Amino acid sequence: MITVGIWQDNGITGSVERNLVIIGTAAEQAREKNVEVLVFPECFLTGYYQAPERVRTVAGEVTDDVLGAIAEVARRTGVALVVGSYEKSPEGIFNAAHFFAPGASRPITYRKRALYGDWEKSVFKRGNGPVLFDYKGIRFGILICFDIEFPELLRETALQHAEIALVPTALMAPHDNVPKLMIPTRAIENGIHVVYANRVGEEGELSFVGLSCIAGPFGPIAAAGQGAELLVESIGGDCGHDAIDYLQALPEIHTQG
């Protein structure tokens, strides 16, 4: 078992410095609740929806020193952190999620592959491949928002023996059926836990629905409301071993056809 937390909030759009302070405060609160892994929403460090020129400017503010400051928060609190942000690289700007293990000098980084809508496609480069890692004896994968709405991407993660998928997201109205219906379905059909961390509040014309949730091989486990909230739950163990084994059944069904 491991205790996971979701920091459902909206941060300060475009202010890396102020969001660093919020991340530190959130990690302290999570430590008080014995959280071992805390997941923030998509692009929490930078803000999500901004004009293309602001995306480029703010992405440049996510420096090694900034990532080092988050690593120090993880070290000081003992809480592993998953923080979404813009990522500037020689290839372009990516929509990224960084996993900071306490004591690690650098994060493990995943880049979003399923870019949503014209705005994302105009400002971000598409990431490549899954990212999986082990922490506290548990195999984790990371996806970002729209990624998990494609069955193939979570199935790919599950087939590489991930037990928990960490999913920073920025889901806006009117798509509240995603956390209510789709996320539990994805967890059940893959025999995996999904930690889905959404934003609240507004950016420009976008209104985020909250409703962060945690689901497992047998369905919903915990869900947040539509306001700022720290959602905490202990998950893992052997519960997936007795779930319907869709991962092994599918090849057999194909051969019977």
pLDDT tens readout for residues 97-124: 999 999 998 999 999 999 999 999 999 9
Contact 12, 19 (CB under 8 A): yes
Q: How much of the chain, in percent, has pLDDT values that exceed 70?
A: 92
Using the structure block, give the residue that is written with the tokens 């997936």. Answer: 240
* pLDDT reading at 86 higher than 70: yes
The mean per-residue pLDDT over the stretch 33-59 comes to: 98
Q: What's the average model confidence in pLDDT over 120-148?
A: 97
Token code pair at residue 235: 């998950």
d(CA 70, CA 171): 24
Take residue 75 and report the two structure tokens written for it: 């070290």
pLDDT digits (tens, 9 = 90+) for 192-241: 999 999 999 999 999 999 999 999 999 999 999 999 999 999 998 655 54
Q: In this predicted model, what pLDDT tens digit does every residue of 166-182 receive, in sequence order?
A: 999 999 999 999 999 99
Helix/strand/coil for 221: strand
In terms of Cα–Cα distance, which of 180, 145, 153 is closest to 42? Answer: 145
Residue 236 has a pLDDT of 83
Q: Catalytic residue among 87, 88, 112, 120, which?
A: 112
Query: Which is nearest to 164 in space by CA: 42, 225, 80?
Result: 80
List domains and CATH numbers for the chain. 2-256 (3.60.110.10)
Query: What CA–CA distance (Å, rounded) separates 38 from 2?
Result: 11
**CB-CB contact of 179 with 201 (8 Å):** no
Q: Catalytic site residue 112?
A: yes
Strands 219-223 and 132-135: unpaired
First CA to last CA distance, the chain? 39
Which of 36, 43, 87, 145 does the annotation list as catalytic? 145
pLDDT > 90 fraction of the chain, expressed in percent and rounded: 91
Element (H, E) at 19: helix 16-32
